[in-house]
Amino acid sequence: MCGIIGYIGKKQAYPIIINGLKKLEYRGYDSYGICILNNDNVFLKKKVGRISNENGENLRDGNLGIGHSRWATTGGVCEKNAHPHEYNGFYVVHNGIVENYKELKEDLIKKGHKFNSDTDTEVIAHLISEEFKDNLEDAVRKALKKIIGSYGVAIVSPKDKDKIVIAKMSSPIIIGICKDGHIVASDPSAVIDFTKQIVTLDDGEIAVLKKDGYMILKEKKIEIIDWESDAVSKGEYEHFMLKEIMEEPNVIENATQGRLLEDNVKLGGLETSKERLEKTNKIYLVGCGTGYHAAKTGEYLMEEIAGIDAEAHMASEIRYRNVRLGPNYAAIFVSQSGETADNLACLKRMKEVGVLPLGVTNVIGSTQTRETEGGVYTRCGPEIAVASTKAFIGQLTVLTMISIFLGRQRNLSKERAKEIISELKELPRKGSLILDNHKQIQELAKKYSQFKNFWFIGRKFNYPIAMEGALKLKEISYVHAEGTPGGELKHGPLALIDENCPTIAICTKDSVYDKMISNIEEVKARNGKVIAIATEGDGKIKDIVDDVIYIPETLECLTPLLSTIPLHLFAYYFALSLNRDIDKPRNLAKSVTVE
């Protein structure tokens, strides 16, 4: 969940590393550090706080260096725990977790090693020192064999000059190919200002970067980043999160472009798995956080549209359960980054027992895309804010198309497929209409900003959206929020409803509308305030609730793609009214690459 950047080449390394760290700060922002080598001279700087506060006063000469932005896992937030970590002239930046670091540390202490930090990372520097003879990459290779866990690492040392050694295991590492040198990074956003050509390391690989080239264990295909540099800037917006919410209608359009036929969808990433999918009798949808909410929505979509047995599970739970698995099962892993550690661990387990692994991912070249046998990209472009918004919309769009794909293999009629596809094409326009109403949503968020507890309710397709709305509010506002099915209120949660606990009810004109009205009336009978997300033209609901946000009418199965948008906006403006750090909420990081 931390950010790694390094440069070796003809240019000064310091400004390139600073630029990269600022782009990577969304991955981790507790502290940062920079190490620049200039012949035998070493410049090391570590600070607690934001890299965005870096003023560049400590610019140092040198064409070789590494940097790191940290999100604390092992060891508290303080200068001594910031990366790079050093021992005996070996400097290491690390993303991941060393599960056996305590045992390794005890053994090293017995050998006379003294540790300066509380982190697991520092043992890597000590292990490299133990193994070093005269070749850095050889020492790194031997040291990493002793580690249990995950890592993306970059190492430099004045003892073996003019190289950066990098390695990967379950934590992303890429090489940016520049005209004047090479960049190592944990994320494409850190290299996009300098190159669009990247090489992605696979698990277990080690690479050596030099000014005039790089060496890797096997030839790697150069990929092209399909982002523009300005896609990772806020532009006219105050926060990345608002920019990304405002892009949600475009995400639907981009995800569907070239994939919608008259009565079916064309998903090239599923073509090689087409025959196995025809024989599949059950699909698991696996995700974490927002990805799980998308997976849960996908469960409803696949049951209704495709007519296939589907179950959504949290990756952190299903990997430890004794669920039925086998070759007639498929699993769809939902992840923005494609590097989510729990997803990848679950993916590995399912592959071992013959389950067909597929992915819904945003990042090209991610570990998930390489480990799965097929899948569909969401085409969202870079998402920088920690709280995921547009990626969720992309996931919902792709899961809808996959449901149509599976349905046409089964009993979904041409007429019904045409109806869904025709309405999918209308959703970008309808989503934009919701965004046009952002000022009303902002006023509502400000009106309710003094409340500390919220309940979100929905039914059927909108139950996962209620969970998503609650998650966004608690993530960036730090207020308590829960999302539950409307029908579950009377089975316990209703005890918490009073005038101090507003309810946000997704009550659109669909098959469960009357049931949702009953749930709203249960809340009102307990003096609870209600904000409704309702369908345009529904005058009845205005007489029941306190406030209404209207969304355009659409097919019931597509409602989540519209009902999500006002909830994301509400969470954003609510946090804005409380002056929260919206793009970088406390204790969280964008890509959760540790378990």
- C-alpha to C-alpha distance for 69 and 185, rounded to whole angstroms: 11
**361 with 368: CB under 8 angstroms?**
yes
In the annotation, is 2 catalytic? yes
- C-alpha to C-alpha distance for 280 and 273, rounded to whole angstroms: 10
Closest CA to 362 of 342, 341, 331, 389: 389
Cα-atom radius of gyration of the chain, to the nearest Å? 25
Q: What is the pLDDT of residue 591?
A: 56
- C-alpha to C-alpha distance for 5 and 511, rounded to whole angstroms: 51
The catalytic position among 168, 474, 584, 590 is: 590
The gap between the terminal CA atoms of the chain, to the nearest Å, is 10
- C-alpha to C-alpha distance for 129 and 91, rounded to whole angstroms: 10
Distances (CA, A) of 18 to 52, 145, 173, 200, 232: 9, 31, 18, 22, 15
**169 with 209: CB under 8 angstroms?**
no
Largest CA distance in the chain: 79
Number of other CB atoms surrounding residue 488 within 10 Å: 14
Report residue 580 as tokens: 């929260």
Report residue 377 as tokens: 């990209």
Fold topology of 234-433 = Rossmann fold (3.40.50)
- C-alpha to C-alpha distance for 31 and 232, rounded to whole angstroms: 21
For 446, counting Cβ atoms within 10 Å of its Cβ (0-12 exposed, 13-18 middle, 19+ buried), the class is middle
Distances (CA, A) of 532 to 475, 516, 540, 547: 21, 10, 12, 6
- Stated length of the chain: 595
- C-alpha to C-alpha distance for 65 and 13, rounded to whole angstroms: 6
For 442, counting Cβ atoms within 10 Å of its Cβ (0-12 exposed, 13-18 middle, 19+ buried), the class is middle
- Is 168 strand, coil or helix? strand
DSSP of 125-154, one letter per residue? HHHHHHH-SS-HHHHHHHHHTT--EEEEEE
Report residue 217 as tokens: 């264990």
Q: Beta partners for 48?
A: 31
**pLDDT in 10s for each residue of the chain, 595 residues:** 588 999 999 999 999 999 988 888 776 678 999 999 998 899 999 999 888 766 655 567 899 999 999 888 778 889 999 999 999 999 999 998 888 899 999 999 999 999 999 999 999 999 999 999 989 999 999 999 999 888 999 999 999 989 999 999 888 899 999 989 999 999 888 898 899 899 999 888 999 999 988 988 765 667 777 666 666 677 788 999 999 999 999 999 989 988 999 999 999 899 889 999 999 999 999 999 999 999 999 999 999 999 999 999 998 888 778 777 878 899 999 998 888 888 888 888 888 889 999 999 988 778 888 889 899 999 888 888 889 999 999 999 999 999 999 999 999 999 999 999 999 999 999 999 999 999 999 999 999 999 999 999 999 999 999 999 999 999 999 999 999 999 998 898 888 899 999 999 999 999 999 999 999 999 999 999 999 999 999 999 999 999 999 999 999 999 999 999 999 999 999 999 999 999 888 877 665 555 5
Report residue 570 as tokens: 């509400």
Distances (CA, A) of 410 to 183, 302, 399, 406, 407: 48, 11, 16, 7, 5
**CATH top-level class of 437-583:** alpha beta
Number of other CB atoms surrounding residue 87 within 10 Å: 21
**571 with 473: CB under 8 angstroms?**
yes
Fold topology of 3-230 = Glutamine Phosphoribosylpyrophosphate, subunit 1, domain 1 (3.60.20)
- C-alpha to C-alpha distance for 524 and 497, rounded to whole angstroms: 9
Beta strand residue intervals within 261-381, DSSP E: 282-287, 309-314, 329-335, 356-361, 374-377
- Is 173 strand, coil or helix? coil
Q: What angle do CA 364, 368, 369 make, to 5 degrees?
A: 45
pLDDT tens digits along 178-192 = 989 999 999 888 898
The catalytic position among 2, 35, 380, 501 is: 2
Q: Return the half-sphere exposure (C-beta side, CA atoms, 13 A cut-off) of residue 134.
A: 0
For 537, which DSSP code? T
pLDDT tens digits along 151-177 = 999 999 999 989 999 999 888 899 999
- C-alpha to C-alpha distance for 83 and 189, rounded to whole angstroms: 20
Look up the pTM and report it: 0.72
Q: Parallel, antiparallel, or unpaired for β 197-200 and 206-210?
A: unpaired
For 170, which DSSP code? B
DSSP of 3-15, one letter per residue? EEEEEEESS-HHH
For 287, which DSSP code? E
Q: What are phi and psi of 241, to 5 degrees?
A: -60, -45
Give the residue range(s) of CATH 3.40.50.10490 domains in the chain. Answer: 234-433, 437-583
Give the residue range(s) of CATH 3.60.20.10 domains in the chain. Answer: 3-230
Edge-to-edge strands of the sheet including 530-535?
A: 480-485, 453-458, 503-507, 530-535, 547-551
- Angle at which helices 463-477 and 290-301 cross, to 10°: 170
Per DSSP, helices labelled H in 247-330 are 248-256, 274-279, 290-301, 315-318
527 φ/ψ sector (left φ>0, alpha ψ -120 to 50, else beta)? left
- Is 181 strand, coil or helix? strand
**369 with 361: CB under 8 angstroms?**
yes
- Angle at which helices 390-409 and 290-301 cross, to 10°: 30
